[in-house]
């Protein structure tokens, strides 16, 4: 754990921007945290190729900091939503998703108020052309449709990569279902993949 006011980081194999409510998110989720001193160095490391896994509030911060394309706006239902969702894996070509199969459906929880992913036309097209979508909200059978979209995200996008797939931002929480005791372990493969890739 690194304090928000730090301006230097030690040598790191992986940076995780975890979930939470940085600065209370009273303004716009992630807007203030993106300007905290430590984020300058996080951005520099990410640009230099250090993998960054940004989950939930971490994704919001990473998007605000310009590490990832697009923005996260309030859920279409205007309420906080905490529930398990199904995700279709869109790309396994990354250090994060290498142990999932493209097209595989996994179950992870979401817990957010501002997880409605948005990107404008050109940016969205670039994202698709460049295979930067990591996960989409789907039905258990894998169908991606309005019914499986919990927050109004464009194209049901639940997670995106940067252009080099070294930064992953995702609203669902892989760390919350990585233990059968808690009702599922579909998140484990992400941490196993990271451990193997970074060892």
Partner 1 sequence: MTEVTPEIVAAHGLSDEEYARVREILGRAPNITELGIFSVMWSEHCSYKSSKTWLKRLPTEAPWVIRGPGENAGVVDIGDGQVAVFKMESHNHPSFIEPYQGAATGVGGILRDVFTMGARPVASLNALRFGGPDHPRTRHLLAGVVGGIGDYGNCVGVPTVGGECTFHPGYNGNILVNAMTVGVAPKDRIFYSAAAGVGNAVVYVGSKTGRDGIHGATMASAEFDADSEAKRPTVQVGDPFTEKLLIEACLELMATDAIVAIQDMGAAGLTCSSVEMAAKGGVGIELDLDAVPLRESAMTPYEIMLSESQERMLMVLRRGGEAAAREVFEKWELDFAVIGAITDTGRMVLRANGAPVADVPIAALVEQAPVYERPWTAPPPPAELDAADVPAPESLGACLKRLLASPDLCCKRWVWEQYDHMVMADTVQRPGGDAAVVRVHGTNKGLALTTDCTPRYCAADPETGGAQAVAEAWRNLTAAGARPLAVTDCLNFGNPEKPRVMGQFVGCVEGLAAACRALDFPVVSGNVSFYNETEGRAIPPTPAIGAVGLIADLDRMATPALAAAGETLVLIGETRGHLGASLYAREIAGREAGAPPTVDLEAERRNGDFVRRLIEAGRLRVCHDVSDGGLLVAVAEMALAGGVGATLTPPVDGPPAHAWLFGEDQARYLIAAPVDAASAIVAEARAAGVPAEAVGRTGGDALTVSGDHPISLGELRAAHEGWLPTYMADG
Given the rule CB under 8 A, which residues bind partner 1? 19-21, 23-26, 79-83, 109, 111, 113, 173, 175-176, 179, 181-183
CB-wise, 3 or 8, nearer to partner 1? 3
Q: Which of 64, 90, 114, 175 is catalytic?
A: 175
Is 56 designated active site?
A: yes
Is 86 annotated as catalytic? Answer: no
Q: Give min distance, CB of 157 to partner 1, in A.
A: 21
Task: Exactly one of 64, 86, 173, 192 is catalytic; name it.
Answer: 173
Reduced to 3 DSSP states, what percent helix, strand and coil does the chain have, rounded to the nearest 5? 30, 25, 45
- Could you give the 3-state DSSP secondary structure of residue 181? helix
Residue among 56, 64, 90, 113 flagged as catalytic: 56
Active site residue 173: yes
* Residue with Cβ nearer partner 1 (66 or 77): 77
State the residue for tokens 């036309």.
Answer: 121
Minimal CA–CA distance to 24: which of 116, 113, 109? 113
Q: Please choose, from the candidates 42, 11, 46, the residue with its C-alpha nearest in 3D space to the C-alpha of residue 166.
A: 46
At 174, phi and psi to the nearest 5? -65, -30
Q: How far is the CB of 66 from partner 1 (least distance, A)?
A: 24
C-beta closer to partner 1: residue 79 or 122: 79
Whichever of 106 and 133 has its CB closer to partner 1, that residue is 106
CB 75 within 8 A of CB 169: no
Residue 131 CB, shortest distance to partner 1, in Å, is 31
The secondary structure of 125-179 as a DSSP string is HHHHHTT-EEEEEE-TTS---GGG-SS--GGGEEEEE-TTS-EEEESS-GGGGSB
Catalytic residues: 56, 173, 175
């Amino acid at each position: 754990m690194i304090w928000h006011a730090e301006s230097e980081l030690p040598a790191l194999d992986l940076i995780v921007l975890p979930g939470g409510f940085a600065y209370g998110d009273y303004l716009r989720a992630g807007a203030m945290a993106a300007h905290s001193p430590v984020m300058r160095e996080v951005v520099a490391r990410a640009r230099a190729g250090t993998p960054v896994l940004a989950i939930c509030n971490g994704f919001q911060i990473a998007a605000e900091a310009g590490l990832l394309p697009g923005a996260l706006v309030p859920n279409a239902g205007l309420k906080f939503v905490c529930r398990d969702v199904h995700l279709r894996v869109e790309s396994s070509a990354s250090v994060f998703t290498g142990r999932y199969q493209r097209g595989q459906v996994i179950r992870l929880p979401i817990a957010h108020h501002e997880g409605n992913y948005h990107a404008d036309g050109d940016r969205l097209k670039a994202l698709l052309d460049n295979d930067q979508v990591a996960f989409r909200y789907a039905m258990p059978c894998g169908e991606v449709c309005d019914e499986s979209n919990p927050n109004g995200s464009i194209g049901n996008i639940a997670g995106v990569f940067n252009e080099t797939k070294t930064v992953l931002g995702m609203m669902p929480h892989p760390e919350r279902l990585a233990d059968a005791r808690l009702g599922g372990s579909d998140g484990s493969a992400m941490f196993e993949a990271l451990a193997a890739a970074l060892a």
